A and B are shown apart, each in its own frame.
Chain A
Amino acid sequence: MTNKQRVVVTGMGVVAPNGVGLQEFTQALRQNKSGLRFDSELKKFGFSCQVSGRPPISNEDLWSVIPESHRAAFNSTGIAYGLMAGLEAWRNAGLQVDPPTRDPDSGIVFGTGVSSVSKTREVAYTIDEGKVRRLRSNTVPQTMSSGVAAYLSARLHLGNWVSSNSSACATGTESILLAARRIQSGQAKRMLAGACSDAGPYIWGPFDALRVLNRHHNDRADEASRPLASDASGFIPRSGAGALVMESLDTAKARGARIYGEILGGAVNCGGQINGGTMTAPNPQAVQECIIGAVKDAGVIPSEIELINGHLTATAMDALEVQNWARALEYDRNTFPVIHSLKSLIGHTIAAAGAIETVASLIGLQNQFVFGNANADILHPDVLEWVDKSQIPLKSLSFPHQTVIKANFGFGDVNACIVIRKNTSDEQKRNHG
Chain B
Amino acid sequence: MNRKEITDKLYNIARPYVQQKEALEDFSMDTDLLRDLKINSANLIDIVLDVEDEFGVSIENAEMELMINVRSVVELLENKLDAK
Q: Is B49 within 8 A of A134, CB to CB?
A: yes
Q: How far is the CB of A149 from chain B (nearest CB, A)?
A: 18
Q: Is A137 within 8 A of B43, CB to CB?
A: yes
Residue in A closest to B15 when the chains form the complex, CB atoms: A68
Q: Is A136 within 8 A of B16, CB to CB?
A: no
- A3 beta carbon closer than 8 Å to chain B: no
Q: Is A136 within 8 A of B45, CB to CB?
A: yes
Over the window 26-67 of chain B, the binary record of Cβ atoms lying under 8 Å from chain A Cβ atoms (1 yes, 0 no) is: 000000000000001011011001100000000000000000
Task: Contacts A134-B49, A136-B49 given; indicate if A71 touches B43 (C-beta within 8 A).
Answer: no
CA distance A69 to B50 in the complex (A): 12
CA distance A326 to B40 in the complex (A): 56
Task: Contacts A134-B49, A136-B49 given; indicate if A72 touches B16 (C-beta within 8 A).
Answer: yes
Q: How far is the CB of A67 from chain B (nearest CB, A)?
A: 9
Q: How far is the CB of B12 from chain A (nearest CB, A)?
A: 13
Place the interface of chain A in its size category.
Answer: under 10
A 127-143 contacts with B by CB, 8 A: 134, 136-138
Q: How far is the CB of A147 from chain B (nearest CB, A)?
A: 14
CA distance A47 to B19 in the complex (A): 45
Q: How far is the CB of B22 from chain A (nearest CB, A)?
A: 15
A 39-77 contacts with B by CB, 8 A: 68-69, 71-72
Q: Is B45 within 8 A of A71, CB to CB?
A: no
Residue in B closest to A136 when the chains form the complex, CB atoms: B46
List A contacts of B50 (CB < 8 A).
Answer: 72
Number of residue pairs spanning A and B whose beta carbons lie under 8 angstroms apart: 22
List B contacts of A134 (CB < 8 A).
Answer: 49
Q: Is B49 within 8 A of A68, CB to CB?
A: no
List A contacts of B16 (CB < 8 A).
Answer: 68-69, 71-72
CA distance A68 to B43 in the complex (A): 11
Q: How far is the CB of B34 from chain A (nearest CB, A)?
A: 14
List B contacts of A137 (CB < 8 A).
Answer: 40, 42-43, 45-46
CA distance A69 to B46 in the complex (A): 9
Q: Is A69 within 8 A of B49, CB to CB?
A: no
List A contacts of B17 (CB < 8 A).
Answer: 68-69
Q: How far is the CB of A144 from chain B (nearest CB, A)?
A: 14
A 237-262 contacts with B by CB, 8 A: none
CA distance A71 to B43 in the complex (A): 12
Residue in B closest to A139 when the chains form the complex, CB atoms: B45
Q: How far is the CB of A162 from chain B (nearest CB, A)?
A: 19
CA distance A136 to B49 in the complex (A): 8
CA distance A136 to B17 in the complex (A): 13
CA distance A162 to B59 in the complex (A): 37
CA distance A76 to B8 in the complex (A): 31
Residue in B closest to A71 when the chains form the complex, CB atoms: B16
Over the window 105-144 of chain A, the binary record of Cβ atoms lying under 8 Å from chain B Cβ atoms (1 yes, 0 no) is: 0000000000000000000000000000010111000000
CA distance A71 to B50 in the complex (A): 13
A 264-318 contacts with B by CB, 8 A: none
Over the window 304-337 of chain A, the binary record of Cβ atoms lying under 8 Å from chain B Cβ atoms (1 yes, 0 no) is: 0000000000000000000000000000000000
List B contacts of A71 (CB < 8 A).
Answer: 16
List B contacts of A68 (CB < 8 A).
Answer: 16-17
Residue in A closest to B58 when the chains form the complex, CB atoms: A133
List B contacts of A69 (CB < 8 A).
Answer: 16-17, 19, 40, 43, 46
A 162-217 contacts with B by CB, 8 A: none
Q: How far is the CB of A82 from chain B (nearest CB, A)?
A: 21
Q: How far is the CB of B31 from chain A (nearest CB, A)?
A: 17
Which residue of A69, A72, A136, A138 has the most chain B CB atoms within 10 A of its CB atom?
A69
List A contacts of B49 (CB < 8 A).
Answer: 134, 136
A–B Cβ pairs within 8 angstroms, 19 of them = A68-B16, A68-B17, A69-B17, A69-B19, A69-B40, A69-B43, A69-B46, A72-B16, A72-B46, A72-B50, A134-B49, A136-B46, A136-B49, A137-B40, A137-B42, A137-B43, A137-B45, A137-B46, A138-B46
B-contacting residues of A (Cβ < 8 Å)? 68-69, 71-72, 134, 136-138
7 interchain residue pairs of minimum CB distance? A137-B42, A68-B16, A69-B17, A137-B45, A136-B46, A137-B46, A69-B43
Other A-B contacts than A69-B17, A72-B46, A134-B49, 6 sampled, CB-CB below 8 A, are A68-B16, A68-B17, A69-B40, A72-B16, A137-B40, A138-B46
